[in-house]
Structure formats: structure tokens, C-alpha cells
Amino acid sequence: MKLEVVYEDNHIIVVRKPANILTQGDATNDISMLEIIKDYIKLKYKKEGNVFLGLLHRLDRPVSGIMVFARTSKGASRISDQIRRKVFKKTYYAVLLGNLEEDKGDLKDYLYKNKKENRVYVVDENHKDSKLAELSYEVIERKNNMTLVKIDLKTGRPHQIRVQFASKGYPLYGDKRYAKNLNKNNDLIALFSNKIEFEHPTKKEKMEFCIKPKSIYPWNLFDKLK
């Protein structure tokens, strides 16, 4: 797989993650972004031995979009601190099944992850191991009984966007895990990390990177993305 690099310097590397590629390795032993980027750095800079690469945030396997990794421990530490302080911002596009009525809104739920099932549920606030999940959304366009929304993610819970919208009756297009009665031959999930914002770990400058989904179905239905 050819790595698509959006930006790189001595401390960070920003890339486009394709759909169906792991962020980091798991029990499947399938190739991951961590391995792909390490190989890229090793080859480009002729580095011998182990290559340091800090994992700062994750995208689910079927989700595509922009990610940043740290090339130094200093970069990893300082950007991780921004994530903890919630000043690292992530914005997503999603295509929902159905016509979402409200043009904008906030979703606040308590989520519980069943690790054996690798599935997340909306639960009561008092449920054991529940965690607060928050996001804001804005409708960009409605077409063919689908809704394109832009999402400002407030918390980074596993499967958060997918579960919160599915629980309201608007599952994401292509989400085989959380959409009921979905055609199992459907395409990959229509969830895309389109923008990240953070402070550079050494330059202290505001960094903002924004990309669009590839022009494939269902993204290519929406005029606002063209």
C-alpha cells in the first residue's frame, strides 16, 4: 500500500488512513498504519533498527480519514497532553441513513463497551463502567433519504459516532455492526475523519489539516463535497 502523506517534519507525520486498514496491530496480524508508516520512515530516511512512532489517536478499522502520529517522544508526550486537555480537535463527516430532522444539535449519551462482543451500547448513567460520550453535529446536505453531517467530536469513545446516531434511529451508511437489516454486501462505512487541529509540539504554532473523502459512493452523491 502506498502511504499518502499530508505533512511531515522531525516531530510529526500526518497521513490519510484508508478504510479497512487497522490503526495498530491486533490478533488478526493484518497490516496496520503503525507498521506502514514505520516502514516508510525507515526507507525514506535510511534508518536502521527500530523506528519510534507514537500512536496518538485511533480510527476504527472501517473508518478512513486524517491522522497524526508522533515521530519523537517529545512530540508524543506534548500532543497526548493536548488530547487529555481536550484542546486537540477532530471533525468528521458521516452519511446517515434517513433524513435527520434537526439541522444541528448535540448528542450526549453514556456508553458501555462489551469487550467480548467488541460492541458498544447506550446505557444508563449509573451502569457499571459506563462513560460519557458527547458530540455536536450540523447537517450539510440531504439526498436520496440520506443525510450528510459534519461532526465535532467532544469525547473519543470507541465506536462513539456510530453508536450514538444508530441509537437515535439514524445509523451510518454501510455500518454492518450497528445498522439493523442492513444489506451485508454494502460498501464500507461512510465515516470520515476530515480535519484535525492541534498545537505543534515544538513550534507552538496552530496546526490544521483538512482533507475530503474520495469521490466514491455515497460521498459523491453530495454536491457540498465536490
* pLDDT, tens only, 154-166: 998 999 999 999 9
The CA distance from 135 to 165, in Å, is 10
Domain ranges of the chain: 4-225
Contact 201, 12 (CB under 8 A): yes
| Per-residue model confidence (pLDDT) at position 41 | 96
Task: pLDDT band for 185, please (50, 70, 90 cuts).
Answer: low
Least confident among 4-18, 94-108, 166-180: 166-180
Distance, in Å, from the CA atom of 96 to the CA atom of 163, rounded to the nearest integer, reads 12
C-alpha to C-alpha distance for 24 and 109, rounded to whole angstroms: 27
For residue 97, pLDDT beyond 90: yes
- Give the predicted TM-score (pTM) of the model: 0.92
Supply the pLDDT for residue 54.
97
What pLDDT is attached to residue 82?
97
Beta-sheet pairing, 119-123 with 12-17: unpaired
CA 66 – CA 195 distance, rounded (Å): 7
Backbone angles phi and psi of 208, in degrees to 5: -140, 125
Tally: H helices and E strands in the chain: 3, 11
pLDDT band at 181 (very low <50, low <70, confident <90, very high): low
Cα dihedral 108, 114, 172, 1, rounded to 10, equals 120
User: Is pLDDT above 90 for 49?
Assistant: no
Architecture field, domain 4-225: 2-Layer Sandwich (3.30)
CB contact at 8 A, 199 and 4: no
Four-point Cα dihedral 59, 62, 66, 67, nearest 10: 30
> Are 90 and 196 contacting, i.e. CB atoms less than 8 angstroms apart?
yes
Torsion, Cα 55 61 67 68, to 10 degrees, reads 10
As a whole number, the mean pLDDT across the chain is 94
Q: How many CB atoms neighbour CB 44 within 10 A?
A: 11
Question: What's the whole-number mean pLDDT along residues 4-19?
Answer: 97
Can you tell me the distance from the alpha carbon of 156 to that of 57, in angstroms, rounded to the nearest whole number?
A: 9
Q: Which residue has the cell 449519551?
A: 109
Mean pLDDT of 43-54: 92
What's residue 3's pLDDT?
A: 96
Spatial contact of 90 and 211, defined as CB atoms under 8 Å apart: no
- Write down the pLDDT at residue 186: 56
pLDDT of residue 13: 98
SS3 of 12, please? strand
Residue 199 cell numbers, joined: 498545537
Q: Are 212 and 194 in contact (CB under 8 A)?
A: yes
